[in-house]
Structure 1
Amino acid sequence: ELYDTTLGHVGHSWEREEFDLDFKANKPIGDRHHLAFGLSARHVSLDVTEVATAPWRFTAFDASTGTFRDDVPILDYGSSPDSFTRYAGFVQDSIDLDDRTILSLGAKFEDSDLSGSSIQPGARLSYTLDDQNILWGAYSRAYRQASLVERYTKVSYGRLWNHPLVPNQWTTMDFVADPTLDDERMDAFELGWRNRLQENLLLELSLYHYDTKDAVFSGPPIYSTSDVCTKGAELTFDYNPSASWRLRGGYSYSRGKKDGAPQEDFPESMSNLSSHLSLRDDLIFSQSLYYTGERTIPSAYNPIPIDDYLRLDLGLVWRPDESLEIGFFGRDLLDPDHPENMYNDLDVEPGKVKRTFLLSITKKF
């Protein structure tokens, strides 16, 4: 596979050539075991091009080289590694311990030029109480490899006039990569209960605890790593009042700590309710209502509070025949605009999501 990507506004383009080899298989062993396994290999090569673009093409002191330059690109990958190989494999055995209990054990093995070798084990146990109730628990370990931007790319995100160390001159403001970043490691513990109260109503409750080591956080002027703990719960339902009407919804509660300190940059409470109603065989009316709790985004200037908000989406889809679909959708209909997010430390005002309308026409040949 060959990918060619250009970000003209920042003067950055790259061509990625990728070779993949993948094998997967599964096989029953006796009456109680079902074995799944696989192997894969991937080789990636990069060709990166960077140029300085307007309005940034003027002389400034480049702090990383200690020289005055007029050709500092916004994204500078430099002479960083341009080819990588990764080998991976997995094995999993699903064991019927008895008529009610299933145990799944497995692991993923990986060896990469970027992150070295790792083993990611996993286990899941489910128990059927009766025809309506299932209990389950799971543990897994996962790794996230630091990205090429985080490890190797210098980001020149601004220019500063009259820096105390470089008076009466422009100085680049750089976001320096860190090639020593380790992989993030997350241990996930989960418990769940599934209950079919009646034929057309399904309830699910899940509890989780995620423990992440060496999580990478970006923020000028450097990347940093921290230990993060997240725990919470989620309750969902799926209900069909009739053959033509489906309701789905849920509520989630989450709390997080970073190096032991409580974090408020993610909403504690979120909920949603969606409805899909077939007005007739060729006409579907959909409604979705979302609630997101308040939060506070950290910033190098001042913490930015984002209030809780409701979001309403509506859609009407007409299918006159099997080959044609016409849809009209409205999103974020309750407000002309409202803030939802911002990038830590760089923006002084959160971005706002505006009310939008969309007409789609899909024709299949």
Structure 2
Amino acid sequence: MQDQLTLVDEQLWLTLGSKLEHNDYTGIEVQPTARLLWGPDPNHRLWAAISRGVRIPSRVDAHMELIGQVVPPLTSPNSTPLPLALAVNGSNAFQSEEVLAYETGYRYTPSNNLSLDLSLFYNDYKNLRSYSAGNSDTTNIPYYLKQPFIIDNAGKGQTYGVETAVVWKMLDWWRWDLSYSFLKSELTSNQYYQEAISPQHKTSLRALLNPTPDITLDAWLRYVDNASAFTLSGPAYIKSFTTLDLRLGWKLNQAVELSLVGQNLLDNQHLEYIQETFTQATELQRGVYGKVVWAF
């Protein structure tokens, strides 16, 4: 449900709304939002918003049973003569993760060819997913021991930062997109779980060229700062990387377009993320491929 109210004609607008969702784990979840937009003239826009969002439990959170790692006997942290299986178990008591998000921003468009955006944000989290150690399972002796880690809602914290973006149409057929974001994460949990940390700095520069009506050339250069992820054997770190993607397109006619794309061209391979399923991380490799699009 959403409605927009005009507080001052052609200058001030208030948008109120809410999403209502029912699920079998936590019942009804209400996610309201309020947004205020002030436009003193067509070249300036100032806005602010506050919203509540949730991530409802999934079947994995409630019922998962996963052996993420087996520690050999008589090795750290397993001093027993039996293999130790580290298992992650879901919990029916797991509640929705919640965030209260505060945002404000400003857009300046001095001309039809240039726009500048600046936004600030602050997110307050609670009931974040965490893990606590359960009682050791000895029913499988003499084959192995099992140490379960139960999903709970012990995590909380804040993130805040700034995002900027500049769009410049240098020529009728040449456009630049530049963006930068800074993110500071202050998340806490218990001793068995360390929150994953997203990259603190991200920068992106894109060039989009149409030298002729039939030819397009796109270039995308981006930098991503260090990050970390959670694994059962401890935190895993993801190194910063810089990568470049290129695309050359040729439209043969109204129906057929050919394109040649190169991805991750600056190095052989690099790691961007580690999945929460505790599977082996996969590095993205340099690649080149061709594409044919036929529209009919």
Interval containing the TM-score (normalised by the shorter chain): 0.7 to 0.9
Residue of structure 2 equivalent to 1:121: 32
After superposition, the C-alpha distances for 1:136-169 in whole angstroms (9 at most, x for unaligned) are 000111121111111112123455665979956x
State the shift of 1:344 in Å: 6.5
Letter in 1 for 2:6: D
- Give the 3 Å change call, closer, same or farther, for CA 122–303 of structure 1 in structure 2: closer
Structure 2 match to 1:330: 262
Q: 2:204 aligns with which of 259, 262, 272?
A: 272
Extract unaligned runs of 5+ from structure 1.
Answer: 1-90
Are 1:152 and 2:39 an aligned pair?
A: no
- Select the structure with the greater relative contact order (CA < 8 A; seq sep ≥ 6): 2
Change beyond 3 A, Cα 1:350–1:117? closer
Which residue number in structure 2 is paired with residue 215 of structure 1?
Answer: 128
Superposition deviation, residue 264 in structure 1: 7.3
Q: For 1:286 and 1:331, locate their aligned partners in 2 and report how far apart those are by CA, in whole Å.
A: 12
CA distance in 2 between counterparts of 1:298 and 1:112 reads 27
CA deviation after TM superposition for structure 1 residue 171, in Å: 6.6
Q: Which residue of structure 2 lines up, in the alignment, with residue 360 of structure 1?
A: 291
- What displacement does 1:311 show? 0.6
Q: Does 1:133 align with 2:44?
A: yes
Contact 2:162-2:181 at 8 Å conserved across structures: yes
CA–CA separation in structure 1 for the residues paired with 2:263 and 2:237:
23
Of the candidates 152, 161, 180, which is equivalent to residue 232 of structure 1? 161
Q: Is the 8 A contact 1:201 1:238 kept in 2?
A: yes
Partner Cα separation in structure 1 for residue 277 and residue 258 of structure 2:
42
* C-alpha deviation, 1:265, in angstroms: 2.4
Letter in 2 for 1:255: K
Partner of 2:241: 309
Amino acid paired to 2:97: E
Retained in 2: the 8 A contact 1:105–1:124? yes
Deviation at 1:212, TM superposition (A): 1.5
Q: In the alignment, residue 102 of structure 2 is paired with which amino acid?
A: F
CA–CA distance in 1 between the matches of 2:233 and 2:68? 16
2:141 maps to what in 1? none
Q: Aligned equivalents of 1:310 and 1:208: distance in 2?
A: 25
CA deviations on 1:308-360 (whole Å, 9 max, x unpaired) are 2211000101111111111110011011112323347957x854221011111
Relative to structure 1, the CA distance from residue 107 to residue 342 in structure 2 (aligned partners, 3 Å threshold; closer, same or farther) is: closer
Q: What SS does structure 1 have at the residue aligned with 2:93?
A: coil
- Asked whether the equivalents of residues 44 and 106 of structure 2 are also in contact (C-alpha less than 8 Å), the reply is yes
Q: Which of 242-251 and 187-196 deviates more? A: 242-251
Unaligned regions of 5+ residues in structure 2, if any? 133-147
User: CA contact under 8 A between 1:339 and 1:352: conserved in structure 2?
Assistant: yes
Residue pair 1:196, 1:203 contacting (<8 A) in 2 also? yes
Identify which range, 267-276 or 290-299, moves more after superposition. Answer: 290-299
Query: 1:20 is matched with which residue?
Result: none
Normalised by the length of structure 2, the TM-score is: 0.82
Q: How does 1:129-208 map to 2 (within 5 A)?
A: 129-158=40-69, 173-208=86-121
Q: Check whether the contact 1:300–1:345 (CA below 8 A) recurs between aligned residues.
A: no
* CA-based RMSD: 2.9
CA distance in 1, matches of 2:103, 2:19: 19
In 2, are the aligned partners of 1:270 and 1:293 still within 8 Å (CA)? yes
Aligned with 1:281 (options 200, 204, 213): 213
- Is the CA contact 2:69–2:232 (under 8 Å) kept in the aligned structure 1? no
Aligned length: 273
Letter in 2 for 1:98: V
Q: Distance in 2 between matches of 1:177 and 1:125?
A: 40
TM-score w.r.t. structure 1 length? 0.68
- Quick check: 1:299–1:345 contact (8 Å CA) kept in 2? no
C-alpha contact 1:340 1:350 (8 A) present in aligned 2: no
Give 3-state SS (helix, strand or coil) of 1:149's partner. helix
Residue 145 of structure 2 corresponds to none
Q: What amino acid maps onto 2:4 in structure 1?
A: S
> Partner amino acid for 1:232?
G
C-alpha distance 302-160 of structure 1, shift in aligned 2 (>3 A): closer
Q: How far apart are residue 208 of structure 1 and its match?
A: 0.6
Distance 1:132 1:249 in 2: 20
Q: For the Cα contact (< 8 Å) 1:216–1:223, is it kept in 2?
A: yes
Which segment drifts farther, 208-217 or 313-322? 208-217
Aligned to 1:319: 251
User: Out of 316, 332, 340, which is 2:272 matched to?
Assistant: 340
Q: 2-side partners of 1:292 and 1:228: how far apart?
A: 23
